[in-house]
Structure 1
Amino acid sequence: MTGTADVVVIGGGQAGLAAGYHLRRKNLDFVVLDAQHTPGGAWQHAWDSLRLFSPAAFSSLPGHVMPAQPGEQYPDAGHVVEYLSDHERRYGLPVHRPVRVRAVHRDGERLRVMTDTGSWSARAVVSATGTWWRPLLPAVPGREAFTGHQIHTTGYRRPSAFAGQRVVVVGGGNSGAQIAADLAVHDGIDLTWVTRRPPRFLADDIDGRALFDAATARRHALDEGRTDTGGVASLGDIVAVPPVREARDAGLLKAQPMFDRLLADGIRWRDATSAPVDTVIWCTGFRPALSHLAPLGLRGTGGHIATDGTRVLDEPRLHLLGYGDWTGPASATLIGVGRPARESARQIAELLA
């Protein structure tokens, strides 16, 4: 397929849908290209017990409040997939799938988006591919020599796959705590949870609403030249959603220091203490999935693409949406992506005018 549109949005997850909603309100001609076969973005690949950090009403995309999930204060990933699917249908967003974007090139006054099904010519592009597709694995000594099983957060689904195993969960963030809690309450799994520093649980009454407010306050402080408030990091690293809280209060979430290296059949700490291990689950974060933008030559020092909000400084026809605080406060969250999406649509409308 070869097509033409004023705006091409790359990615049909939460950020892409938020962009589509605001582009529609600006009456712009646009398409959304999504590599997935079905709606729901990365949420459809999450582990079974994953929970949002906020109640449904505070986890909504623009224009459409997420309904509550019966019996759940914090909705699970399946509920989010249903919500995103409904959001896409509700606004009739022009999503093409499965379409995998390979590269974006400059083409005179336009940008050419190359895909596995053809190319699209656009006057502006919104990249909203997120980070799920680029998991980060740390360079821990011995990782290549370990003969057991290794997976990242992206490969974890449910505890039953690890029955009878000795499992190490690496990571002191929300993913590490939630997966460790998921494994800890199941008999027959010998769990070790390791973190680089002692886990920092947020107060039990703090959820995603407070995190969004903290991220926004930090962004405003930095923009105005005031002292860095520390944002979300100043509050802690782990939101105590009910499963995490229950495992913690039962004494099942006791973190060990990060090990020094992997052995062929286990792990070893700096003091030479060792332990046998069958599986390592790396809950060690992600990086932005931006390889499709490589032909534009935008990466600067440290591989970072410089932006003003979501707009790329060296290519103002391109906007980056949903990659974290550097492209809008809490923009990698459902509740946080709406504001930068609205600003992106406004700036694109002005550019095309």
Structure 2
Amino acid sequence: MKYVDVAVIGGGQSGLAAAHALLSEGLRPVVLEASGTAAGSWPRYYDSLTLFSPARYSSLPGMPFPGDPDRYPHRDEVAAYLTSYAARLDADIRTGRRVTGVRRGDAGFEVELADGSALAARAVVAASGTFGRPHCPVLSGLDGFTGTVLHAADYRRPESFAGQRVMVVGAGNSAVQIAAELASVARVTLASRAPVKFARQKIAGRDLHFWLRYTGLDITPLGGLLHEAPTQPVIDDGRYRAALAQGAPDRRPVFTGIDGAKVCWQDGTREEADAIVLATGYRPDLPYLAGLDGALDAAGHPRHRGGASATVPGLAFVGLEWQRSLSSNSLRGVGRDAARIARHLAAHLRGR
């Protein structure tokens, strides 16, 4: 069995940031990416997706995002950036390597792969993100809905919904973006438990992310205070607020149930629907840690303090939502958390 310093599970933005930080600490990571390219989930997002943050705030350590720093890069630009970043890293990045299990071993950990092979690692960084575990809320009757049900993770473009009656469930950025896009070809309702909140994309001529950094909310644990809000605001340049005001899409409280092809609204009316799109977020995708006693709680969430496992020495996480701050799971913030975790693991390994 081959031995490595640190096995980094996931080769997207979090895994690449972790590899960069570990190299800076003098460690030799091996990055294990399940897909065929080191770009994480970006190639699989919906076609029209663009970043909410300008390019100047959307890069990983050591490589600025190319081009106009004030533009908002498209999905494909981000995927290309990550691929280029991976190519420039002096790291062992292995694509097509899906991790199926991690357990304790003589070196620290044994990492099992889908092809039946394994490697021994002194430490492990779980950086596999959330895209592989879409969250589907409990909606009465959803299993019996006779129309199309899909999560935002499987949505790509609006054309196949032309002329249909579509319900988009959610109130976040993706929900509002997808609903507004679908409203150009279909009759769409945005159904959410709470009203949509908006944050202006530009304030006093500066992008919101300038102010988040200026105030420290984006880069310090203080930003975690925003996590307590019942709903997170949708970053908007005005187009989405206008779309809702014009009823394209309209917004209603989420339906109380589903009966066959019909949704049941809170006022007692029933309406036929062709499709339901669940833009209801994601959860940490960490099934390979189930065999490490205490690493995850009953809901599959990691037990950690700022990314360092609270229960398993030598295990760490990068790219968790709200890991330490508002920007922890974003291109603009993951590098800071990765550097902290790399220092933690380097100290742990020196002390062994």
TM-score over 0.5 (shorter chain):
yes
| Aligned with 1:104 (options 87, 102, 105) | 102
Change (3 A) 1:322 1:241: farther
SS at match of 2:4: strand
1:93 to 2:91 alignment:
yes
Report the AA paired with residue 217 of structure 2: A
Range 109-118 or range 248-257, more displaced: 248-257
Give deviations 1:88-139, integer Å, cap 9, x for gaps: 1122332101000000000134100000131010000000000000001011
Indicate the residue corresponding to 1:350 in structure 2.
347
Q: Return the letter of the residue paired with 2:73.
A: P
Deviation readout 1:186-243 (Å, 9 max, x if unpaired): 23x11111111111011242634545642545x2487xxxxxx435849952111575
Q: Is the counterpart of residue 338 in structure 1 residue 335 in structure 2? A: yes
Q: Contact (CA 8 Å) 2:29, 2:91: kept in 1 or not?
A: no
Corresponding residue for residue 226 of structure 1: none
| Aligned amino acid, residue 341 of structure 2 | S
User: Matched residue of 1:62: which SS?
Assistant: coil
Q: 1:237 to 1:272 in 2, by over 3 A?
A: same
Distance 1:273 1:169, change over 3 A: same
Q: 1:293 to 1:232 in 2, by over 3 A?
A: same
Q: 1:148 to 1:13 in 2, by over 3 A?
A: same
Once residues 234 and 196 of structure 2 are traced to their aligned partners in structure 1, the CA distance between those partners, rounded to angstroms, is 7
- Aligned partner of residue 230 in structure 1, secondary structure: helix
Alignment match, 2:253: 257
Are the counterparts in 2 of residues 152 and 283 from structure 1 also a CA contact under 8 Å? yes
Contact persistence 1:53–1:207 (CA under 8 A): no
Given the superposition, is the C-alpha separation of residues 50 and 244 from structure 1 closer, same or farther in structure 2, using an over 3 Å criterion? farther
5+ unaligned residues in a row in structure 2: which ranges? none
For residues 249 and 31 of structure 2, the distance between their equivalents in structure 1, rounded to whole angstroms, comes to 42
Q: Deviations over 1:42-64 (max 9, x none)?
A: 01100011111111111111111
Determine if contact 1:322/1:328 at 8 Å carries over to the other structure: no
Residue correspondence of structure 1 range 144-183 to structure 2 within 5 A: 144-183=143-182
Q: Are the aligned partners of 1:310 and 1:328 in contact in 2 as well (CA < 8 Å)?
A: no
> 3-state SS of the aligned residue for 2:14?
helix
Q: Cα distance, 1:303 vs. partner?
A: 4.8
1:291 to 271, 278, 287: 287
Q: TM-score, normalised by structure 1?
A: 0.90
2:107 and 2:121 in contact (8 A); partners too? no
Question: Which range is displaced more, 292-301 or 208-217?
Answer: 208-217
Q: What is the DSSP-based 3-state SS (H/G/I as helix, E as strand, rest coil) of the residue aligned with 1:295?
A: coil
In the alignment, is the contact (CA less than 8 A) between 2:101 and 2:288 conserved in 1? yes
The letter of the residue matching 1:64 is: M
User: CA 1:203–1:234 in 2, change beyond 3 Å: closer, same or farther?
Assistant: farther
Contact 1:23 / 1:30 at 8 angstroms: preserved in 2? Answer: yes
Aligned CA RMSD, in angstroms, stands at: 2.3
- How many corresponding residue pairs? 342
Instruction: Provide the residue aligned with 2:272 in structure 1.
Output: 276
Q: What is the distance in 2 between the residues matched to 1:231 and 1:320?
A: 19
Deviation at 1:280, TM superposition (A): 0.4
Amino acid at match of 2:180: A
In the alignment, is the contact (CA less than 8 A) between 1:50 and 1:77 conserved in 2? yes
Q: Please tell me whether the aligned partners of residues 309 and 328 of structure 1 are also in contact (alpha carbons under 8 angstroms).
A: no
Listed as ranges, the gaps of 5+ residues in structure 1 are 223-228
* Aligned counterparts, 1:227-242, within 5 A: 229-230=225-226, 233=229, 236-241=232-237
Distance in 2 (alpha carbons) for counterparts of 1:248 and 1:209 = 27
Partner in structure 2 of residue 194 of structure 1: 191
SS at 2:236's partner residue? coil
Per-residue CA deviations over 1:281-323 (Å, capped at 9, x if unaligned) read 0001111001100111223465543212111021120001101
SS of 1:315's equivalent in the other structure is: coil
Correspondence for 1:318 among 315, 319, 326 = 315
- Name the counterpart of 1:214: 217
> In the superposition, relative to structure 1, how do residues 296 and 328 fare at CA in structure 2: closer, same or farther (>3 Å)?
farther
TM-score (norm: length of structure 2)? 0.90
Mapping of residues 33-72 of structure 1, within 5 Å? 33-68=32-67
Show the counterpart of 2:74: 76
Distance 2:300 2:38 in 1: 31
CA separation of 1:13/1:210 partners in 2, compared to 1, >3 Å: closer, same or farther?
Answer: farther
Whole-Å Cα distance in 2 between the matches of residues 67 and 241 of structure 1?
23
Between the aligned partners of 1:58 and 1:272, the Cα distance in structure 2 is: 47
Q: Is the 8 A contact 2:222 2:325 kept in 1?
A: no
* Conserved? CA contact 1:214–1:232, under 8 Å: no
After TM superposition, give the deviation of residue 274 of structure 1 in Å: 1.6
Aligned to 2:243: 247
For residues 110 and 181 of structure 1, the distance between their equivalents in structure 2, rounded to whole angstroms, comes to: 49
Identical aligned pairs, as a percentage? Answer: 37
Deviation at 1:253, TM superposition (A): 4.0
